[in-house]
Amino acid sequence: MSVLVTGGAGYIGSHMVWRLLDAGENVVVIDRLSTGFDWAVPAEVELVVGDIGDPELVGKVPRERGVSAVFHFAGSIVVPESVTDPLGYYLNNTVKSRALLEACVDAGVPHFIFSSTAAVYGTPETADPVAEDAALRPESPYGTSKLMTETMLRDTAAAHPLNYACLRYFNVAGADPAGRTGQSTPDATHLIKVATQAALSKRPYMQVFGTDYPTPDGTCIRDYIHVTDLVDAHYLALEHLRATGENLTANCGYGHGHSVLEVVDVVKRVSGSEFEVRMADRRAGDAVSIVANSDRIRERLGWKPHYDDLEKIVTHALNWEDALSRRNT
């Protein structure tokens, strides 16, 4: 039996592929390579280049490869872009997820792990870490598109023999500590990616969007989770579904946040680079502050993060960005 990873040539997906290989799983990847790279997929893994919205493709791969579980990472993730292109996000994140879900039902795939987001919460009513039972009030089409897929999963699982885990990511950062993969998209918008590029002179400067938020230093606060801890949580979710068949929706975060300016300061300190930072207006769709209550995933899955340290996250991100520099010369 195989495990299918959609978006497995991308940032988080490629880390998941390595985690699955480390666990001895047989892996197949579907990726259209819009933001991913074929070289990010290990040589021993089959890469099917195509779109998950292609019904013929997603109809045959689960059957022909004997897929018993799907990790669904493929999708669009830029919040401001979703505000200007909502229909594109509903197509890529929701409509195509429906096509994939239908193919899984038709093929009898029993387990589905979905890459969701903390954006489903919007800005929480209180400053306390947000739990899974908080009000779901996304403030961008990106968050809404992910919430719609969560709803489809819930209803599909009620009607068919399919169980699922929806993992709501907070801010994913860092890179594989062994240097096998990392965030490789040159124009990615992740804060730590952008800051490390500025530190290595790949950008002439970086921007901070919004300095008038009601936070201690006026910039947004986020819960940054190391990508390796994140994919460990995904593998634990798969083991949970295999063992119990119980559906799960859980936050993936550490339970504490850092402001944008705090992150920039850490990148400067770790890199030893005094790169230029320009202040800019707020971006559409950005929540003020959002931090995870991660009690559920710790208690139900026994998840124990190993990289809950902003300096470690930044160090691994810098190491990968430096490795990309050598790769692209």
- Separation of CA 80 from chain center: 16
The model carries a pTM of: 0.95
Question: Residues 166, 114: contact at Cβ < 8 Å?
Answer: yes
Residues of the chain with pLDDT under 50: 329
Instruction: Give me the pLDDT at residue 80, please.
Output: 86
Structural domains of the chain, ranges and CATH numbers in brackets: 2-172+225-252 (3.40.50.720), 191-222+255-327 (3.90.25.10)
Which residues are catalytic, by number? 142
Instruction: Give me the pLDDT at residue 328, please.
Output: 58
SS (H, E, C) the chain: CEEEEECCCCHHHHHHHHHHHHCCCCEEEEECCCCCCHHHCCCCCEEEECCCCCHHHHHHHHHHCCEEEEEECCCCCCHHHHHHCHHHHHHHHHHHHHHHHHHHHHHCCCEEEEEEEHHHCCCCCCCCCECCCCCCCCCCHHHHHHHHHHHHHHHHHHHCCCEEEEEEECEEECCCCCCCCCCCCCCCCCHHHHHHHHHCCCCCCEEEECCCCCCCCCCCEECEEEHHHHHHHHHHHHHHHHHHCCCEEEEECCCCCEEHHHHHHHHHHHHCCCCCEEEECCCCCCCCEECECCHHHHHHHCCCCCCCCHHHHHHHHHHHHHHHHHHCC
Q: What are phi and psi for residue 319, nearest 5 degrees?
A: -60, -45
- Separation of CA 197 from chain center: 20
- Residues forming a β-bridge with 222: 258, 290
Structure confidence by residue, pLDDT tens digits, 259-289: 999 999 999 999 999 999 999 999 887 888 8
Instruction: Give me the pLDDT at residue 188, please.
Output: 84
